[in-house]
Amino acid sequence: MRRPNRTRASPILVQSAGKWSLQAASAASDLFMLPSRRTPRLPGFDYARPGVYFVSTCTHRRRCVLGRVVDGNVYLSRVGTIVEEEWLLTAERRPYVMLDSYVIMPNHVHGLIVIQERLRDEPAGRRQRSLSSIVGAFKAAASRRVGAITGQQGRMLWQRSYHEPVVRDYRELGRIRDYIAANPARWATHA
């Protein structure tokens, strides 16, 4: 088993027997020793450029809050329905985005996002067109709405980040569409 890389934190202030002192984070607590994550992003690739992207994102701690799968069919919970609505609103709110196949599973979402060419009358601004801003806005909007109905504003709905391979050709696009469509049927073997 590979151990995660750990980054060393700055000294922290600790109270002991009524006195405050600085201690190394490793001696005081492992709280600040977070694993370093390797980015799945392609180095030097512009994720705002037109293309097809296969996006997968999981719920926080992979909790099954989005629904359930029975006999290969997905039945969305109230939270899952909100997530689906926000997913579909992504394309309505951004004229340069098209959505292709997608599936909302009990603890994750798979979907194909197409970033289209810039329209002539569209103002410049690459950051708002990037895949990370699109996915971030989707996750934030879904989290806000879920927090509002559950009374748990600020509670984490999603894991940090997401996975997004760039779809390179039509054959790969077909395989990904098949994978998305078959995901509910495979749930029993992976759950």
Distances, alpha carbon 170 to alpha carbons 115, 129, 184, in Å:
16, 23, 23
pLDDT at 2: 47
166: β partners: 53
Amino acid at 145: R
CB 146 within 8 A of CB 60: no
Please check the confidence at residue 117 and state whether its pLDDT lies above 70.
Answer: yes
Mean per-residue pLDDT, 179-185: 94
Please check the confidence at residue 151 and state whether its pLDDT lies above 70.
Answer: yes
pLDDT at 45: 72
Q: Return d(Cα 57, Cα 109) in angstroms, integer.
A: 5
Has domain 51-190 been given CATH number 3.30.70.1290?
Answer: yes
pLDDT at 141: 93
pLDDT at 31: 38
Q: Categorize the per-residue pLDDT at 138 as very low, low, confident or very high, splitting at 50, 70 and 90.
A: very high
Q: Categorize the per-residue pLDDT at 126 as very low, low, confident or very high, splitting at 50, 70 and 90.
A: very low
CB 134 within 8 A of CB 52: no
Please check the confidence at residue 123 and state whether its pLDDT lies above 70.
Answer: no
pLDDT at 15: 46
Average pLDDT of the chain?
Answer: 77
pTM of the shown model: 0.73
pLDDT at 129: 78
CB 49 within 8 A of CB 115: yes
Each residue's pLDDT tens digit, 29-82? 343 444 444 555 667 777 788 889 999 999 999 999 999 999 999 999 999 999
Q: Categorize the per-residue pLDDT at 10 as very low, low, confident or very high, splitting at 50, 70 and 90.
A: very low
Q: Where are the domains of the chain?
A: 1-38, 51-190
DSSP codes joined into one string, 55-78: EEEEBGGG---SEEEETTEEEE-H
